[in-house]
Structure 1
Amino acid sequence: MPVASAVGIHHPAQTLKSSSALPATILEDPSRSLSQESFDVYASYQRILENEEIATPLAAILALTELIEHSKAGTMFELVKELHDAAEILKRRTTNAISLNAGTELFIAFVTLFPHESDSFADLKTELVKQGQKYAAEALTYRSKISELALDFIKDDSVILTHSYSRVVMQTLLRAHKQKRISVYVTEARPRGLGVKTYEALTAAGIPCTMVLDSAVAYVMDMVDFILVGSEAVVESGGLINAVGSNQIAIIAKAAKKPFYALAESYKFHRLFPLSQYDLPTHTDDILSFPRHAQRPSPALTARPSVAPSTSSNPLVSGHLPIGRSKSSTSSSQLAMTPEQILRNPKVDYTMPDLISLVFSDVGILTPEGVSQYLVGMFAG
């Protein structure tokens, strides 16, 4: 399978001219406001996100598309300002806005670069709304395209390690399971514990699957053939922003000479160039900070492990065992991280491009260098 470079890959303006239409279930909502004065871009964004098939960047694009539909702007300058203001509102009201920013950045770039021959500005806005909806409809097929590309790299009897939960990774693994024999190790992925969701979905599909403690990744690495992860964003350096723990998995994979593959839809390509973990927009002075006045935690503040609830009877999966305690313990206190301690930890981290083998995307199979070239071309106009 040849690896694509950034040369000759379609521009967003071409993608946004797709002929497909967005499913009516996403567009039709009787509660939607019809006046610009009462339009709430964040409420629109949250409503769109209720559809589990819609990723954060796409929800942001659709929310901005609705804003254009309700906008009373009379010039392109006014419209672009409205879009930037709305993007800032979404950013301020979202805890982790990295993926969201990738979507708003892409859409605003499209609006400013859009070639048109409209008779009036009102006609132009109508056309922009249509193109935004068409793009979102086309984007819903990207995971299928990516899974098809990745399938050739998954051999029979492959043992795969994946981290946290990713819709495109799930679709790829389920597709591979229909044609090949695969087994999957899934990390627990604290603090959100989304690895449990992956484990349950794969097990329900009949895929042999085992949960792995985040601290046991090095232990299991020699037993896997390659690593498959999703992404919050792929940045201009070709690096990856994903659920915290991805970076350490990539470091261990590199040391063990195991391929580390990232799957990412092109709307997650982000014009951001972090040099370290501390350059991420999500990093604050509170993350991994030392408390000013060290004190013993109160038993009232202790919490069960930060793993998603589960119906599984397996204690590791259900999260019923506190960290460092056995079930037979008679102590009323539990040795677990407090909510305050969890909040002082990052939710995402940055994986350097030299740790990534390939990026599978709807625009092709890219090297990290290819991602850089694609992003440069994408925003060059």
Structure 2
Amino acid sequence: MTSMASYQPVLSISKPENKEENQFDIYEAFQRILKDEQMSPPLAAILALTEVIENSNAGTMFELVNALKDGAEILKHRTPNPISLNAGCELFIAFVTLLPHDSANFLDLKRELIRQGEQYAAEALTYRQKIADLAVGFIKDGSVILTHSYSRVVMQTLLLAHKRKRISVFVTEARPRGLGIKTAEALTAAGIPCSVILDVAVAYVMDKVDFVLVGSEAVVESGGLINAVGSNQIAIIAKAANKPFYALAESYKFHRLFPLSQYDLPSHNSKILAFTQALQPDPPGLMGQNPADHSGSADKSQIKMSPGLDPHPPVKITQEQICQNNPNVDYTRPDLISLVFSDVGSLTPEGVSQYLVGMFAG
């Protein structure tokens, strides 16, 4: 993993007054840091973990690492989709574990870890600009681009491309969260020709686009991509149409995870895509009646239904129910991805795997 020692601070995160360790709430700190719109979950997790160090009474490295792991577990269990923040926690804990140091005492070491964690988060905010500068070189004048949902780094790239070249953008609606609308509104306000398409119209529009450009929740060890649900089917359609599928990902989103299917993702649970229990209406004529009151020899023609009762009541399914029953992210296989643009360069999916090995090898 790249050392954090060379990074220079470019921001400061406001913190509340120090609390006793048993009063410190890492999730509260995480949510407070996320209020900065430029902060992504991995960076917010790193800064929250630096506050764990600041509030910890650990006297040894073993105790400190355990406190960090406990904090990471709290964040994981209290966040509905913990994938990207897991990547940040994983990176910071590996850094703390592998950091060579010559501190005179453990208190000085803790101060150094806090300083470098904050410096890394500050430097990491510049990664989107580096990625945008790199990716714009692959965008030709007059390009028609398809993007999905909302991504800060994709937005920065498209806005930069608009300053230098002529582009137009198709944006998926990106249900269930509908964040594609946010993207389209921002692009339109910037003067970029933009059109919102239904998620189910991706195949319809694919022949019109030059390439697909998406952001990421995480890039995993296989070189595959975890991103807003729908990314996988867009990649499949792009592959069938022989159109490049590019992903943009900051290196702090590289995650030591190796999913083999959608159901291996940490965000998956039994409530996703579950079948609702079908209604079992009473047989005609028995509405409101006790079956035990009628023997097999009873004349069913004499049993009358209660007035005003419908044996088949109407069923309504709300958008909220649909959202709760569907995933927010999905997994895209590495063979569907053309390139991953990152602050460490343009990588093939195989290159991502190699980089991850080196990053966590010290």
TM-score with structure 1 length normalisation?
0.84
1:61 paired to 2:49: no
| Partner amino acid, structure 2, of 1:353 | P
C-alpha separation in 2, matches of 1:280 and 1:109: 22
Residue 112 of structure 2 is matched in structure 1 by 127
| RMSD of aligned Cα (Å) | 1.6
1:368 paired to 2:349: yes
C-alpha separation in 1, matches of 2:261 and 2:25: 35
1:246 pairs, out of 228, 231, 237, with 231
C-alpha separation in 2, matches of 1:344 and 1:110: 37
Compared CA separation, residues 182 and 351, structure 1 to 2 (3 A): same
1:70 paired to 2:20: no
5+ long unaligned stretches in structure 1: 1-10, 297-332
1:115-147 CA distance string (max 9 Å, x none): 101110111001000110110011000000000
Matched residue of 2:100: which SS? Answer: coil
1:339 pairs, out of 302, 309, 320, with 320
| Partner amino acid, structure 2, of 1:196 | I
Residue 300 of structure 1 is matched in structure 2 by none
Matched residue of 1:100: which SS? Answer: helix
The size of the alignment, in residue pairs, is 330
1:197 paired to 2:185: no
| Partner amino acid, structure 2, of 1:237 | S
Residue 194 of structure 2 is matched in structure 1 by 209
Contact 1:58–1:136 (Cα < 8 Å) also in 2: yes
Residue 270 of structure 1 is matched in structure 2 by 255
1:378 paired to 2:342: no
1:354 pairs, out of 321, 335, 349, with 335
| Partner amino acid, structure 2, of 1:366 | L
Residue 87 of structure 1 is matched in structure 2 by 72
Contact 1:65–1:132 (Cα < 8 Å) also in 2: yes
Q: CA deviation at 1:191?
A: 0.2
Report which stretch shifted further, 33-42 or 127-136: 33-42
Residue 148 of structure 1 is matched in structure 2 by 133
C-alpha separation in 2, matches of 1:123 and 1:105: 23
2:268 pairs, out of 279, 283, 295, with 283
TM-score with structure 2 length normalisation?
0.89
Contact 1:18–1:138 (Cα < 8 Å) also in 2: no
Contact 1:159–1:226 (Cα < 8 Å) also in 2: yes
Contact 1:185–1:209 (Cα < 8 Å) also in 2: yes
Residue 240 of structure 2 is matched in structure 1 by 255
| Partner amino acid, structure 2, of 1:157 | G
Q: CA deviation at 1:344?
A: 1.0
Compared CA separation, residues 151 and 106, structure 1 to 2 (3 A): same
Q: CA deviation at 1:69?
A: 1.3
Residue 182 of structure 1 is matched in structure 2 by 167
Matched residue of 1:211: which SS? Answer: strand
1:297-317 CA distance string (max 9 Å, x none): xxxxxxxxxxxxxxxxxxxxx
| Partner amino acid, structure 2, of 1:341 | I
1:98 paired to 2:79: no
- Residue identity (%): 71
C-alpha separation in 2, matches of 1:22 and 1:46: 21
Contact 1:102–1:269 (Cα < 8 Å) also in 2: yes
C-alpha separation in 2, matches of 1:126 and 1:156: 49
Matched residue of 1:183: which SS? Answer: strand
1:20 paired to 2:5: no
Q: Which entry has the higher C-alpha Rg, 1 or 2?
A: 2
| Partner amino acid, structure 1, of 2:251 | S
C-alpha separation in 1, matches of 2:59 and 2:11: 29
